[in-house]
Amino acid sequence: MTSALPDEAWRLLTEWLPGNDDPERPQITLSTVDEDGDPDARTVLLTSFGPDGFLFNTDGASRKAAHIAAHPAVAMTVLWPGFTHQLVIRGTAAPAPADRVAAAYRSRSPYLQQLAWLNTHEFAELPREERVAAWAAFEEAHAGVFEQPESWVGYLVTPTRLTFWSSNGDTASQRVEFARAADGSAWSRRYLAG
Ligand SMILES: Cc1cc2nc3c(=O)[nH]c(=O)nc-3n(C[C@H](O)[C@H](O)[C@H](O)COP(=O)(O)O)c2cc1C
């Protein structure tokens, strides 16, 4: 991704987004298209970004994973920092390599690692007291150490368009947009109304 992405877009990405080792992760609205062509969206955390794309992690049995298998085109909307900057990434999602997926799992908190095991529809249907008891029992049985479940996957999104929106207290908001030509040969830049 770096080789082709304009320097200015990289500068904005690294200025706007927290570093990959910052424990505070940006929340992203991930938009997908389902098997019937209908839109869907949900929040995910941005695990990291780099030359190979924007990485997020999820459950391989989730709805979003089925959508991506049917239509790899996705959009990611990041409000970061605060309400002053919005980045919209349009691109193509592909399964991330196993080592990146494993590293992402290791970087998650013990709570999120345990969640990766227990975040099932069957668990969600249990009465609250049973869910609390089952959660505590699972934690105790594993002594708080949770191996990576097979269902844990990751997707790398290769951007085809990046739109940076910034607010401005003393003048109009504005977007700067970088778009890759359909043949992937070059990026163009243009300014748009906010
Ligand atoms: C702040 C926040 C962060 C979330 N982060 C993730 C995440 O990184 N990965 C994930 O699979 N789900 C995450 N979720 C849950 C998703 O929004 C969603 O409910 C779940 O992944 C199921 O989505 P799906 O049925 O559309 O696949 C997060 C939810 C919130 C509110």
**Close Cβ partners of 15 (under 8 Å, ≥ 6 residues apart):** none
- Whether 57 is covered by a domain: the verdict is yes
Ligand 1 atom at minimum distance from 65 CA: 27
- Whether 89 is covered by a domain: the verdict is yes
Q: What distance in angstroms lies between residue 57's CA and the mean position of ligand 1's atoms?
A: 9
- Whether 16 is covered by a domain: the verdict is yes
Q: How far is CA 105 from CA 11, 20, 115, 123, in A?
A: 28, 14, 11, 21
As a whole number, mean pLDDT of residues 56-67 equals 97
User: How do residues 88-106 score in pLDDT, each as one tens digit?
Assistant: 999 999 999 999 999 999 9
Q: Is 115 in the pocket of ligand 1 (CB under 6 A)?
A: no
Q: How far is CA 91 from CA 21, 55, 77, 94, 182, in A?
A: 24, 12, 12, 10, 12
- Whether 139 is covered by a domain: the verdict is no
Ligand 1, atom 10, lies closest to the CA of 58
Domain extent for 186:
7-107+150-193
Pairwise CA distance, residues 42 & 56, whole Å = 12
- Whether 68 is covered by a domain: the verdict is yes
Pairwise CA distance, residues 22 & 110, whole Å = 17
* Per-residue confidence (pLDDT) for residue 3, from 0 to 100: 47
If one counts the domains in the chain, the total is: 1
* Per-residue confidence (pLDDT) for residue 52, from 0 to 100: 82
**Domain containing residue 99: CATH number:** 2.30.110.10
As a whole number, mean pLDDT of residues 60-80 equals 97
